[in-house]
């Protein structure tokens, strides 16, 4: 195959205990998957089935890398999330079979331009520019499920400059990971390399240049991200 331009590089994630990287295809995100966060965003957590939005695969940035404060926003928010990496694709995956499709897990930060999201909600417009900007998917190294199993309980916390902002438990998810995979795979065919960011607990707040964001999930260690000055692009 000859391309008319040089093909774009494949985004990828580090893998714990391996030099091989995990290639990233798509990034799906679950909205409002923790009741307390749904309430803090002004929604009734009990009323709706899971819904999804996405980020481009190349929005991925690894743990320990600086994230420049993004353009167009004055209200950049952190969202600590458990990330699921799909290793075996499929459509209409059953809840019972869902874990067989999971390659591994990572810690993620669904960075959000909250002011753009609020404006989009108000006008009934898409969330793409609020959620899918450059470096908006901070994702740490993948832990293979073959080694760590399938976490469905345990603390998920986020600190900004050492002060705890988010503190939840994976067992507080409204929709479990198998349920999320079952729902999502009815809407789209999942493929190896797809990532799912599974929603954030309550306590989202604004980040500013200079802040150090630390996210920890039981069994997955922690990741650190420094927000740096908005850069000229
Ligand atoms: Mn999120």
Q: What is the pLDDT of residue 36?
A: 87
pTM of the model: 0.97
- For range 106-115, the mean pLDDT: 98
Ligand 1 centroid to Cα of residue 42, in Å, is 15
Would the pLDDT of 124 be above 80?
Answer: yes
Q: What is the pLDDT of residue 147?
A: 97
Three-state SS string over 111-126 comes to CEEHHHHHHHHHHCCC
- For range 150-166, the mean pLDDT: 97
List of residues 6+ apart from 62 with CB closer than 8 A: 13, 14, 138, 139, 140, 141
Q: What is the pLDDT of residue 59?
A: 98
Spell out a b/e string for 64-82, using b for 16 or more CB atoms within 10 Å of the CB, else e: eeebbbbeebeebbbbbbb
Q: What is the pLDDT of residue 88?
A: 98
Chain segment 193-232, per-residue pLDDT in tens: 999 999 999 999 999 999 999 999 999 999 999 999 998 7
Chain segment 7-56, per-residue pLDDT in tens: 999 999 999 999 999 999 999 999 989 988 888 988 888 768 899 999 99
Q: Give the CATH number of domain 12-228.
A: 3.90.850.10
- CB atoms under 10 Å from CB of 151, counted, come to 19
List of residues 6+ apart from 2 with CB closer than 8 A: none
Q: Which residue has the higher pLDDT, 1 or 167?
A: 167
In Å, what is the CA distance from 195 to each residue of 52, 55, 57?
A: 12, 10, 9
Ordered by start, the domain boundaries in the chain are 12-228
For the CA atoms of 221, 227, 232, 233, the dihedral, rounded to the nearest 10 degrees, stands at 30
Ligand 1 centroid to Cα of residue 163, in Å, is 20
pLDDT confidence band for 128 (50 / 70 / 90): very high
Ligand 1 centroid to Cα of residue 109, in Å, is 8
Q: How far apart are CA 66 and CA 43, in angstroms?
A: 32
pLDDT confidence band for 4 (50 / 70 / 90): very high
Ligand 1 centroid to Cα of residue 165, in Å, is 15
Ligand 1 centroid to Cα of residue 1, in Å, is 38
Mean pLDDT for the chain?
A: 96
* Residue count of the chain: 233
Q: How many Å from the N-terminal Cα to the C-terminal Cα in the chain?
A: 33
């Amino acid at each position: 195959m000859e391309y008319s331009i040089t093909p774009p590089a494949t985004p990828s994630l580090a893998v714990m205990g391996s030099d091989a990287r995990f290639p990233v295809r798509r990034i799906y995100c679950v909205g409002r998957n923790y009741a307390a966060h749904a309430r803090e965003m002004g929604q009734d957590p009990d009323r709706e089935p899971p819904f999804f939005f996405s980020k481009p695969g190349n929005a991925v940035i690894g743990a320990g890398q600086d994230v420049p404060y993004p353009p167009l926003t004055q209200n950049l928010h952190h969202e600590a999330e458990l990330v699921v990496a799909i290793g075996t694709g499929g459509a209409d995956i059953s809840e019972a079979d869902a874990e067989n499709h999971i390659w591994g897990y990572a810690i993620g930060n669904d960075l959000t331009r909250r002011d753009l999201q609020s404006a989009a909600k108000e006008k009934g417009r898409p969330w793409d520019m609020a959620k899918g900007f450059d470096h908006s998917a901070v994702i740490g190294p993948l832990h293979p499920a073959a080694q760590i199993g399938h976490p469905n309980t345990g603390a998920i916390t986020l600190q900004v400059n050492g002060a705890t902002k988010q503190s939840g438990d994976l067992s507080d998810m409204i929709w479990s990971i198998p349920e999320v995979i079952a729902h999502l795979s009815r809407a789209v065919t999942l493929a190896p390399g797809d990532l799912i960011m599974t929603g954030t607990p309550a306590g989202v707040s604004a980040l500013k240049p200079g802040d150090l964001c630390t996210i920890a999930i039981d069994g997955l260690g922690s990741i650190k991200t420094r927000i740096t000055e908005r850069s000229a692009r």
